[in-house]
Amino acid sequence: MKLGRILNKKLNTAIADMGHGDVLVICDAGFPIPTDEQRIDLALEMDVPTIEQLLELVLSDFCYEQVVVSEGMKAFNRPLYDHVVKACDRCPVEMVSYDEFMATYPYKAKYIVRSGAFAPHGNIALVSAVDAPRWFNNKPGIVVPDVYKDRV
C-alpha cells in the first residue's frame, strides 16, 4: 500500500507527471477548465473539499518554485490569501490581476485540481520546481548554479 497522504490516482499521476516549470492550478468550484485532460475534479459538494485542504495535500508531495494568485484573493478573500502565504513558504506569493490570471493560467496549466470551494478568487497556480538538494547532492563534478545555492 501507498505511504503518502494522496489516495486519488489521478492526482498522484499528475504530480508524478509534472516537470520543471509545469503549472498545476488548485481552483474553486467555478473555475473554467479548458480541457478534460487537465481536469482533476475532486469537488463533492459546496465547500468539500476546501481549497485549503487541497493545497495542504498537494504541498505534502509537490515541489514548487513559484506561487501565483490574483490580486482579488488578497482584497476579497483575505483568510485564503493568508493561508496560501503561510502554507507556501518556499517562495513569496506573487499576485497578478484577476484578468491576467484568468486569461493565462487555465491554458498554461498542465493540470487543474477542482475543489468544491465556493470562494471568491479561490485559485492558486503552483509552478513545479527542481528539488535542489536531490539534484545537486555533492556528486563528483556537480556544480550548484547560483540560482539554486540557497535551496541546497
What's the CA gap between 52 and 80, in Å, rounded? 7
Active site residues: 20
What's the CA gap between 38 and 112, in Å, rounded? 5
What's the CA gap between 87 and 35, in Å, rounded? 28
Order of strands across the sheet with 39-41? 39-41, 109-114, 23-27, 124-128, 64-70, 93-96
